[in-house]
Structure 1
Amino acid sequence: MAMISGKADDLIVGEAGAVEAAACLFHGFSDRSRLTIVQHLALGEHRVVDLTGHLGLAQSTVSRHLACLLDCGIVTVRAQGRASVYALAQPKATLELLAAAERLLGLTGDAVVLCPRYGNAARP
């Protein structure tokens, strides 16, 4: 499922299905709370109660975001007694993606934050 392949001067865009899948993946990371959950899970497994304490969000909100991440295949869940323990499904690849995003953000400077459509200026 290569979205883009080849050298920088010879990019070939892949099929529409691959682009759609990538858009769905990035949607999983698009919410600030989901991204924060992913960052916490990069540190190791967490229960919902742990995440609510770390994030200061309601349990229902954390559970809803975890369900989205689970549906996207970004996290896994296992039972531990009566609790559910969440972890990154692909920790190495997820950390590589987050590191690449940090590099890209460093290169774009304030452009993303100042974006009139999706940046801080667009928020009510």
Structure 2
Amino acid sequence: MAFSLDSWGDDSSSEALAPNVTLFRSLADTARLAILHHLAGGEAQPDELSDALGLADSTVSAHLSHLRGCGLVDLRIEGGASYYHLARPELLDLLISVELLLVATEGGGACCPHHALREVD
């Protein structure tokens, strides 16, 4: 899919925006976002992610599978061990842009209480 800044915003139909919505839905999960943030620092094995993020192995496995299916992470197998890493450098750019946007909007959540993260028991 070719992208040009000159054509940005020309088609704001639901059909044209569907891939964007799908991508942002994939990122709109605390565990998946934590995994991506961790992988932004370099590749990691699933058990390292589980330990670092305090998530169950099965949770990490499911989210890695989801992220891999979206083309956001990839893996390298060496000696029977799996090492996951960000699949595209553009993803790191996106994560950094989100952080900059949060700083610029003083956290963002204050203006969007409907979408603010709620604690789960």
Q: 1:3, 1:13 within 8 Å by CA — same for their partners in 2?
A: no
1:118 alignment partner in structure 2: 115
For residue 87 of structure 1, give the secondary structure of its aligned residue in structure 2: strand
Which residue pairs with 2:82 in the alignment?
84
What's the secondary structure of 1:46's corresponding residue?
Answer: coil
Overall identity of the aligned pairs, in %: 38
Displacement, 1:110? Answer: 4.0
TM-score, normalised to structure 1, is 0.81
Write 1 or 2 for the structure with the bigger share of strand: 1
| Structure 2 match to 1:64 | 62
Unaligned runs of 5+ in 1: none
Q: Which amino acid aligns with 1:103?
A: L
| Poorly superposed stretches of 4+, deviation over 6 Å | none
Secondary structure of the 2:82 match is strand
Question: Which ranges of structure 2 fall in alignment gaps of 5 or more residues?
Answer: none
Match in the other structure for 1:108: 105
Render the CA deviation track for 1:26-79: whole Å, top value 9, x for unaligned.
Answer: 112111111111111111111101101111110000001101100100000122
The letter for the 2-side match of 1:106 is V
Q: 1:78 to 1:110 in 2, by over 3 A?
A: closer
Counterpart Cα distance in 2 of 1:14 and 1:5: 14
Q: Separation in 1 of the partners of 2:3 and 2:106?
A: 25
